[in-house]
Structure formats: C-alpha cells, structure tokens
Structure 1
C-alpha cells in the first residue's frame, strides 16, 4: 500500500497525523481481513468432527539444531450421527467413503480459542478424483481445534517420528 501525503501550510501537522492514523487503521483492517477464516461467498455442505494426530518429524534446522517439523495430519472425520465418513491425511487431503478426494492449501489462519492448540484454518481445495461427496467442495474450514502442537518431548535424533493427538471440526463448503 502506498500513501501520498500532500502537505500545505494550512493542513499542517494535524492533517499529516490524520492521514497517518487513517493509513494505520487501513493496515489493521487489511491484516484482520487477511486472518479471517470465513470462506468467501460459499455455502456450507457438511460439518464433521475429527479425531486424530498431527505427525511431526525431528529434522535439522538452518542452524543445524534438531527441531520438530510438522509432517502431516492423520485423522478420521465423523458426521453428526457418529459415522466415519472421511479420512484426512497428507497433502492435506480428504477422502470420502464414496471415493471422492480433494487436496487443499491454506489461505488463512487464526489462533485457536483453546490454549496450546494448533491454529484454525481456511483451506481452498481442488478435486483430485472420483465423483461424490467431496466433488463440489471449494473450501474446508478447520475450527474449534484442541491439541495437535508439536510433541513436548525433546527431539533427539534426525528423522525421529513424533505425534500429538488433536480434535477439531472440519466444515466443508461449495
């Protein structure tokens, strides 16, 4: 964002401060909009509850220190009657019992409302196969996250695997 400040003798310092304040408010509004996890112009198709783990791997960072790195989710999603309907895995991907499958990428995130939990997300998707439940899905929202942060135990060996249980709701939109 670029701002043109025009200063006249009459405008003085108050105008400059006003324009600066307006620019700061615009920047804050843009930041808030960017962190919204509400899907744009979408219709909810299905809401699920997920139970699973976030999988991590112990890897060297740029400073050659071992640290946990997120690898993939591994979860089962249940409909409102408690029936397992979707498997969630790396990609991130979701595969329904009918064979339809989507892959998503994160377009927005927000902190969890639960302390020490993974972020809430909005993901944009594309269909990767099969026709069915997930074929028309454009967005997936991960909300109400509980858990899932990197393991509390020390990361001590390269490629060591670790996982952390998590619960969440995934909402699917077309």
Structure 2
C-alpha cells in the first residue's frame, strides 16, 4: 500500500458497523491484482508460527487503513530530560493505534469480508472471529508488525457454519504501510487513517473439515 498518503478522519466509524460500511468497496476489492505467494509458515519467526495441531484453511489479502487517534500519553523520558512537545505532567500528544479497517480478499480475488478495529474478522456470511494477540514481531522498519492472533471468540449463524466458524488462529504477515508519518500529533482527539496492506493466514484445528462455501458464496 504505497502512494496513498495518510489522511485525517473527522470521526471513526463504529467497529461493529464496519462490515456494512465496507460493502460499498466490494467491487474495488474484486479488481485487486493477484498477490505474490505469502511468506511460508516455516520461514516466520518461531513465535508467529502456527500450532502443531493446526492446518491452514485459507489465505486472504487486505487493502484498507490502520486507524489512529491523537491522545495524550505518558512520555517515555529519563529523569531530568526534557523533550519537545512533552508537557509538565510528562505527557505528550501521540498517535495511538485503534486497529485496522480493511477489505478481506480471497484467493479468487473476491471480497470475502472485513477486518475491523477490535481485532474483528468478519465474513459476509455472518460468521466472525475476535482475535487475541498471542505474539508480535517488528519485521519491517516502515510497516505494521507481523502478528499471530488466537481466536478469543468465534461466532457463526449456526454452530459449525460459516467461513470463520472453526478458525483457531490467524497470522498477519507481509505487511506494508500502516504507520503514521511521525509518532507525535497536534490536535487531541483527531483521527488519522494510514493505508496498509497485509496477508492474513487463517488456521483451523486438524481433524475439522474445511469450510464448504455455499453456491451463492462461490459465485461472488
């Protein structure tokens, strides 16, 4: 995700309504060109690798924004050291990450769901996963971290049904962009949207059958 500058946002869209808001971008997602093969699981830092009892279910890519809010945060300074922008109480206005808002695109180049702040992974069929950060690694200096999420909560329209019904963990790898141009900000409460791209690897427990897409899903 290069060539698109960060932009200030007047307000942040609510996390749980992100799915509906992103539907309007589905056609753009369908036009996304094929991505290169993702970094293999065996090549990842050890802490980011899938569990021994997991199997890869699906690979998706994203294009969207990492969202930030300008907040007054305790500055990391040494005693007696004064830094520009640091208030007398030791706080500083910094961009604080809120999460990702992005379209998930499957291996067929079709829009399949969204990523929303709060580590929500939502499929258009109604199933979704809430992730919990299990491990994180700063692989590229100018891009978002690579992350392994475990499934903190999984929901489906009916038990066992839906694209994300049996997801056990997710890897975010091969990231590009997503970082603010500088860590500090000027207007408390302002929001910033920074374009990013990533590959998401979705895993399920071994022994579970792969998700079966409905004819309607397969056609879109």
TM-score by length of 1: 0.75
Give SS of 2:166's match: coil
Give SS of 1:82's match: coil
* CA distance in structure 2 between the partners assigned to 1:137 and 1:124 by the alignment: 9
**In the alignment, which residue of structure 2 is the partner of 1:64?**
91
The counterpart of 1:173, out of the listed 198, 203, 206, is 203
Q: Which has the higher contact order (CA 8 A, sep 6+)?
A: 2
**In the alignment, which residue of structure 2 is the partner of 1:49?**
61
Once the two structures are TM-superposed, the CA of residue 128 in structure 1 deviates from its matched residue by 3.1
> 1:119/1:37 Cα in 2 relative to 1: closer, same or farther (>3 Å)?
same
User: What does the per-residue CA deviation read over 1:30-68, in whole Å, with 9 as the maximum and x for residues that have no partner?
Assistant: xxxx96201212100000011111000000012221010
> 1:38/1:59 Cα in 2 relative to 1: closer, same or farther (>3 Å)?
same
Contact 2:114 2:121 in 1 (8 A): yes
The counterpart of 2:154, out of the listed 127, 137, 140, is 127
The counterpart of 1:109, out of the listed 118, 136, 141, is 136
Contact 2:177 2:197 in 1 (8 A): yes
* CA distance in structure 1 between the partners assigned to 2:167 and 2:58 by the alignment: 10
1:99 aligns to 2:126 (yes or no): yes
TM-score by length of 2: 0.60
Once the two structures are TM-superposed, the CA of residue 154 in structure 1 deviates from its matched residue by 5.2
User: What does the per-residue CA deviation read over 1:96-116, in whole Å, with 9 as the maximum and x for residues that have no partner?
Assistant: 01110110011011222x440
1:1-174 pair list within 5 angstroms: 36-41=47-52, 42-62=54-74, 63-112=90-139, 114-125=140-151, 126-130=153-157, 131-152=161-182, 155-174=185-204
Larger radius of gyration: 1
Structure 1 moving runs of 4+ over 2 Å: 128-131, 150-154
Once the two structures are TM-superposed, the CA of residue 88 in structure 1 deviates from its matched residue by 0.4
Give SS of 2:61's match: strand
Contact 2:98 2:118 in 1 (8 A): no
Count, aligned residues: 141
* CA distance in structure 1 between the partners assigned to 2:135 and 2:65 by the alignment: 21
